[in-house]
A and B are shown apart, each in its own frame.
Chain A
Amino acid sequence: MSAIALTRLLWLAVPALVLAAVPAAAATIQVTIDKLVFSPANVEAKVGDTIEWVNKDVIAHTATVKGSWEVMMPPKKSASLTLKAAGAVDYFCRFHPNMKGHLDVSP
């Protein structure tokens, strides 16, 4: 095998090994906010996944878990949170508590 061919092989093999070392790639899951509705309202995710809230409204919203975390979404902006703990949580918008969402986070 020539040196060039070997180098090429390594270039192909190294990324494949790196990918193989991470069993499941973390996903980014989008939740849209439109007219004060979280959609989808219920999300199933895994620890390490990121939730990205996309706020389409002209007013600010939050995704707030009482006594835990809070993410603020300015008007027409997005914001993200990487899930660190497993469990089921209900969240709501602190400014408009009639907006509700739910996350099921598996380990």
Chain B
Amino acid sequence: MFTRYTAALAALLLASAAPLAQAGDKPTDPQIAHIAYTAGVLDIEAAKQALAKSKNKEVIDFAKDMERDHEAVNKQALDLVKKLKVKPEDNATSQALTKAAKEERAKLAELKGAAFDKAYIENEVAYHKQVNGALETLLIPSASNAELKSLLETGLKIFQGHEQHAEHVAGMLK
């Protein structure tokens, strides 16, 4: 199933090989909730890998910040879907994100020391850029529930902050 939102996110994920878009398709609230939650879980997993592998203070501090913020945001998201009685629904975009993150983790697992730190932070910059792009152009405009939209908008501001923070750490590693 290559709906328009999958295509948009896949295009962000893999600049090449964007599947054909079908006009008029957009993700539903249960799918949006699932995508946003999954994006958070994947960044927490990336942070845990960094905490286990890195010895660099800046990188460790950054990873702790990511773990803490994404856990707090995801808790809010869970509280909200419970309140709204929305059941997050797995979908092709969530699956594509998960697959890409798994591949990245395997790649990072091979690296050590400064090479790991650099690759982790660079991926954090790229990952937040992708997720923010998807939030801005697709997930937020598609959300129909006002509270879900508002949570996504706050999430976008937090993740834009993470993107800048990651860029700052990347600059320090050079």
* Chain A residues whose C-beta falls within 8 Å of the C-beta of B154 in the assembled complex: 35-36
Are A58 and B75 touching (Cβ within 8 A)?
Answer: yes
Tier of interface size on chain B: 10 to 19
With A35-B154, A36-B154 in contact, do A97 and B72 touch (Cβ < 8 Å)? no
Does A96 touch B at the CB level, under 8 Å? yes
Tier of interface size on chain A: 10 to 19
* Chain B residues whose C-beta falls within 8 Å of the C-beta of A35 in the assembled complex: 153-154, 157
Complex: A98 Cα to B168 Cα, angstroms: 12
Complex: A26 Cα to B78 Cα, angstroms: 44
Complex: A96 Cα to B65 Cα, angstroms: 10
Complex: A95 Cα to B162 Cα, angstroms: 7
Instruction: Say what secondary structure dominates the interface of chain A.
Output: loop
Report A's interface with B, CB cutoff 8 A.
35-36, 58-60, 75, 93-99
How far apart are B149's CB and chain A's nearest CB, in angstroms?
Answer: 13
Give the contacting residue for B73; candidates A58, A94, A98; CB below 8 A. Answer: A58
How far apart are A2's CB and chain B's nearest CB, in angstroms?
Answer: 66
Does B164 touch A at the CB level, under 8 Å? yes
* Chain B residues whose C-beta falls within 8 Å of the C-beta of A99 in the assembled complex: 161
Are A97 and B164 touching (Cβ within 8 A)?
Answer: yes
Report B's interface with A, CB cutoff 8 A.
65, 68-69, 72-73, 75-76, 153-154, 157-158, 160-162, 164-165, 168
* Chain B residues whose C-beta falls within 8 Å of the C-beta of A93 in the assembled complex: 161
Complex: A97 Cα to B162 Cα, angstroms: 8
Are A98 and B72 touching (Cβ within 8 A)?
Answer: no
With A35-B154, A60-B68 in contact, do A96 and B75 touch (Cβ < 8 Å)? no
* Chain A residues whose C-beta falls within 8 Å of the C-beta of B69 in the assembled complex: 59-60, 95
Are A97 and B165 touching (Cβ within 8 A)?
Answer: yes
